[in-house]
Amino acid sequence: MSTAEPTPAPTLPATILQTERLTLRAFTEAEVDSVYEAVRDPGIQRWLPLPGPGEPYTRADAEQWCLTTAPEARVSGDGQQWAAIDRGTDRFVGSFGLTRTMWPAMRTEVGYWVAPWMRGQGFAPEAVTAVSRWAIDQGFQRVELKAAAANTASRRVAEKTGFRFEGVERNAMPLHEGRTGLAVYSLIPDDLG
């Protein structure tokens, strides 16, 4: 009988991504106040039950995200998280990342939210394109994007960035109030031509 330790998940390289208007880099203490203000927004809280269903988002939660949770995602092999910064103004735009990475299948999921003061400017499609294409370049064979079925803004991001709709996972995620189905989209290397 083998008592070998399980092989740890690979670690993604620490990477800064640049787009036309954004720098995507690691979260730092400089983003704590912006994350706290953004995540408390009703638009984010409606679709993302952060920190958990029925729990209010606190400054301590923002500190935990920026200084511990986001950096540990890369080291643990779960994925990678980036703070998106507007290159023209140095303002915080939002959070974009890869999560729920399944290394044996080379599958990962892109997740994101945009600060309320930066919505409507096309930053989400720009950053999701950069993150998902980077994942494909790293050898991932499937990048998923899941959005609450009624979250039309997030679903438009998936469609604008070349993800293909596959269906709805019914009753898949708790919200602060009730539950929601998740619209499932995917991007695979063949989709990029």
CA distance 156 to 125: 9
Could you give the 3-state DSSP secondary structure of residue 99?
Answer: strand
Tell me whether the omega of the peptide bond preceding residue 10 falls within 30 degrees of 0, making it cis: no
For 63, the domain range is 17-140
Q: Distance between terminal CA atoms of the chain?
A: 47
For residue 31, being part of any structural domain is answered with yes
For residue 12, being part of any structural domain is answered with no
Query: What's the pLDDT score for residue 193?
Result: 78
For residue 5, being part of any structural domain is answered with no
Q: At what angle do helices 152-160 and 123-137 cross, to 10 degrees?
A: 50
CA distance 134 to 127: 11
Q: Give the number of C-alpha atoms closer than 13 A to the C-alpha of residue 45, restricted to the C-beta side.
A: 17
Question: For residue 185, which of 161, 157, 164 has the smallest C-alpha distance?
Answer: 164
Tally the domains of the chain: 1
Residues of the chain with pLDDT under 50: none
What CATH number is associated with residue 42? 3.40.630.30
For residue 114, being part of any structural domain is answered with yes
Cα angle for residues 57, 37, 174 (degrees, 5° grid): 35
Each residue of 154-187: pLDDT tens digit? 999 999 999 999 999 999 999 999 999 999 999 9
Hey, how many other C-beta atoms are within 10 angstroms of the C-beta on 52? Answer: 11
For residue 187, being part of any structural domain is answered with no
Quote the distance between the C-alpha of residue 20 and its chain's center. Answer: 19
For residue 182, being part of any structural domain is answered with no
For residue 156, being part of any structural domain is answered with no
For residue 131, being part of any structural domain is answered with yes
Helical (H) or strand (E) element with 184 = strand 179-187
Query: What's the pLDDT score for residue 3?
Result: 61
